Amino acid sequence: MKHVSGATLKRSIALSSLVLCAAVLPAQRASLTVDTSASIAPVSPMLYGLMTEEINYSYDGGLYAEMVRNRSFQHRGKNFASWLPASRGNGSVEIEGGTDGPSTALPTSMKLTIKAAAGEQAGVANTGYWGMGVKPSTTYTGSLYARPDGARNAHILLIADTSGEAVATADVALEGTAWKQYTFTMKSSAKTVASSTFHLEILFDQPGTVGLQLVSLMGPTYKDRANGNRADLMGMMADMKPHFLRLPGGNYLEGDTIKERFNWKETIGPLVDRPTHRSPWNYTSSDGMGLLEFLEWTEDLKIEPVLAVYAGYSLKGEHVTGAELKPFIQEALDEIEYVTGDITTKWGAERAKNGHPAPFPLHYVEIGNEDFFDKAKTYEDRFDDFAKAIRAKYPKLQLITTMPITRGNPDVQDDHYYRSPEEMFAMAHMYDKTDRKGPKIFVGEWATRTGSPTPDFGAALGDAAWMTGMERNSDIIIMSCYAPLFVNVNPGGMQWPSDLIGYDAARAYGSPSYYAQALFANHLGDHTVKTDATGLNSRFFWSATVSTADKVLHLKLVNGSSETQQLTLNIPTASARKATTSTLHAASRWETNTIERPEAVKTVVSSADWKASLPYSVPGNTIQVIDIPLK
C-alpha cells in the first residue's frame, strides 16, 4: 500500500463519522462499482507537475531567498524604491544616482554622501518585500559592491522594526576607490520564531562618499544552495509530488515587447552581469532567478524541466516571421544546448562555467505561449520553422504547440483553462470523447478561480472534479500544471487573484486547492479501471486508478454538492485489510485558508476496515481519496 506521505498529509484524526455508515440500505440507493480487474487506460507518470513564472512576486519577494528589494536599483536607472535614509545621532545622508557601476550590465549605482561627526552614523535602510523575515539563530549571507572614496567601515545591521533592536550585525572594511565586491555573514539573535517585521541598515561612521550596487542578503536556502530558494516553499512543492516544472512562463516568457522577453542569455552567469528586465506583470525582475536557477530548482525537487522557448511573439503584438525569426530560433537552439549539452558544446561549456557541468534531462520543449493571442495569425509558420530546426538537431525532443494547429506535426498540445467551480464541474468529462489520434494534451495552465489571493474550498471542489477528468483521460493528457503557483499576499503583491500557495516574507500556507492537488498527486495509480455508477448527484465525481506494484486502488470521490451523498460501494477485489482515507472537507464552499488561518481547511487521514460491498456516505463539500488494498 502506498503510504500517505509529506508534512501536509500527516495529520491523523479519526473521521469515522465521515467514512463508514452502517445505515440500512434504502431501496433506490445510489451505487458505484469498481472492477479493478478491468484495466481501461494507462495513467501518465508525468501527469502532475508545476508551472512557474515571475508574477505576484513569485521569485523576487517569494521563492528566491533574496531579502533585499530593488537590490540593483532596477532597471539600469535611478530607482531607489524600498531604500530610505537611515542614521544614528545627527548623522545624515544625501542619496543620488551614481553615474557609474561595477559592470556593463549594471552601469549605474546609488551614491551616498555621508555627513557624520564622531559617534554618529548615516547610510541607508532597505525595507525588503513588505518587511524581512528573520528567524532565531539563523545565519544570513550578504554581499555588496561598493566604491568608497577611501578606506571606511560599513556597519550592517538587521533591525527589528518594533523595538529598533539590532538582531544581527556585521562590519565590512571597505578599501581603495574602485568598485569591489564585499561579502559578509550575520547570525540572528532574534527571539520570535518568524516574522516579517525586520529591515536592513547599512551605515557609515565617517563623512565622505560611497557608491553602492547589488546589495544582497540571502536567507537560508533549500539544500543550502548558494543563490537558492526559500526552504519552506520548496518543501511545500516537494509535498505535491510533482514530476516536472514548466518554465519560465506564461506571459513572462513572451514579455510585453520582444525586448522584454525572457532573454535567457541575460539571466545566466554572475549576478553582476545580469541587467534585470521588466516583466509583463508590471515590475522589474532582478533575474537572480535565471535559467540555471530554474534548472537547479528542478534538480533539487528531482523533477524535469518542460522548457518553453521564446517563439517570436510578444504580448503587445510584436511578432517576427521568415528570415527575421532565425536569430530567435538560434536563441532557442542555444538554450536547449545550455540545458542538455555536454561540456564539449559551446553552451554546455558555458553552463559548466556557471557552476553546473552536468547536463539536465529534457524531453519536452514548448514553442511559445498562448499564441492564439497573435492577431496576425503567424503561429503556424513560426511553429513550423522552430520545429524543423529543433527536430534537425534534437530529433528525440517532444514539441509542444500552444494552440491547435494543422501543420508542423506537434507531439503535444498545451490547453489552458481558468474557470468557475460550476464550469469545472461541467467540464470534468470534456476529454472523455477527445479524438485519441491527435497530439497528446498538456493542460499547461488550469485553475478554478474563486477566492483571492488564494482559492477557496469551492475552487478546490472544482479542481478536484477537473482532476478526476484528467486522471480518467490520462492516456491522452500526459501532463498538467496549475497556475499561478505563488502569491505574495501583501497589499500590492498580487497581479492575478486565485493562486495556489500564499506567503509573506516569513510565513507560507497552502490553499484548499493546494491540499487537493497534493492529495491527487500523492495517490495515483498507473492505470485506470472500469467503473459503473448509478443514481449519484450531478455534482459527484470520481476517479479509480490502480497502482500495479502496490496492489492498491486509489479511489477519489468528490461531492461538489452541499448534500451528503449516500451510496453503495462495490469493489469485489477489495481485500479485508484496512483502507486509508484522506479527507478534505469544509462546512461551506466559502471557507478558505489565509496567512493568519493557514490550516482552516486541511487533509485529515483515517483508516477503516474494508470489504467487497459496503454502504458509504460522502458528506457535502467533500474531497476524499481512499487507498484500498486489493486481494
- List of residues contacting ligand AHR (CB under 6 A): 53, 249-251, 369-370, 445, 483-484, 496
Q: Indicate the residue among 497 and 619 with the shorter CB distance to ligand AHR.
A: 497
Nearest residue (beta carbon) to ligand AHR? 250
Query: Cβ(132)–Cβ(67) under 8 Å?
Result: yes
Instruction: For residues 150 and 153, give the distance between their C-alpha atoms in angstroms, rounded to a whole number.
Output: 10
**Residue position matching grid coordinates 515587447:** 257
The length of the chain in residues reads: 631
Q: Indicate the residue among 482 and 542 with the shorter CB distance to ligand AHR.
A: 482
In the bound complex, what is the minimum distance in angstroms from residue 445's beta carbon to ligand AHR?
Answer: 5
In the bound complex, what is the minimum distance in angstroms from residue 496's beta carbon to ligand AHR?
Answer: 5
Q: Indicate the residue among 251 and 582 with the shorter CB distance to ligand AHR.
A: 251
Q: Indicate the residue among 140 and 466 with the shorter CB distance to ligand AHR.
A: 466
In the bound complex, what is the minimum distance in angstroms from residue 14's beta carbon to ligand AHR?
Answer: 39
In the bound complex, what is the minimum distance in angstroms from residue 482's beta carbon to ligand AHR?
Answer: 9
Instruction: For residues 474 and 614, give the distance between their C-alpha atoms in angstroms, rounded to a whole number.
Output: 29
Phi, psi of 62 (to 5 degrees): -145, -115
Query: Cβ(234)–Cβ(222) under 8 Å?
Result: yes
In the bound complex, what is the minimum distance in angstroms from residue 298's beta carbon to ligand AHR?
Answer: 19
In the bound complex, what is the minimum distance in angstroms from residue 420's beta carbon to ligand AHR?
Answer: 16
Grouping H, G, I as helix, E, B as strand and the rest as coil, residue 316 is: coil
**Residue position matching grid coordinates 554572475:** 270
Q: Indicate the residue among 251 and 528 with the shorter CB distance to ligand AHR.
A: 251
H/E element, 530: strand 527-534
In the bound complex, what is the minimum distance in angstroms from residue 543's beta carbon to ligand AHR?
Answer: 25
Q: Indicate the residue among 195 and 251 with the shorter CB distance to ligand AHR.
A: 251
Instruction: For residues 161 and 66, give the distance between their C-alpha atoms in angstroms, rounded to a whole number.
Output: 19
Q: Per the omega criterion (within 30 degrees of 0), is the bond before 421 cis? A: no
Q: Indicate the residue among 91 and 484 with the shorter CB distance to ligand AHR.
A: 484
In 483-495, which positions are buried (b, 16+ CB within 10 angstroms) versus exposed (e)? bbbbbbbbeebbb
In the bound complex, what is the minimum distance in angstroms from residue 231's beta carbon to ligand AHR?
Answer: 25
Q: Indicate the residue among 288 and 484 with the shorter CB distance to ligand AHR.
A: 484
Among 556, 619, 630, smallest CA distance to 20 is for 619
In the bound complex, what is the minimum distance in angstroms from residue 315's beta carbon to ligand AHR?
Answer: 9
> Which spans in 428-486 are helix H?
457-472
**Which amino acid, residue 524?**
L
Q: Indicate the residue among 174 and 483 with the shorter CB distance to ligand AHR.
A: 483
Instruction: For residues 73 and 212, give the distance between their C-alpha atoms in angstroms, rounded to a whole number.
Output: 10
Among 297, 310, 227, 306, smallest CA distance to 262 is for 310
- Beta-strand ranges (E) seen in 135-179 are 139-148, 152-160, 166-174
H/E element, 121: strand 121-126
In the bound complex, what is the minimum distance in angstroms from residue 251's beta carbon to ligand AHR?
Answer: 4
Give Cα 506 to chain centroid, integer Å. Answer: 17
Q: Indicate the residue among 52 and 196 with the shorter CB distance to ligand AHR.
A: 52
How many Cα neighbours within 13 Å face the side chain of 8?
Answer: 34
Cβ-based neighbour number of residue 466 at 10 Å:
29
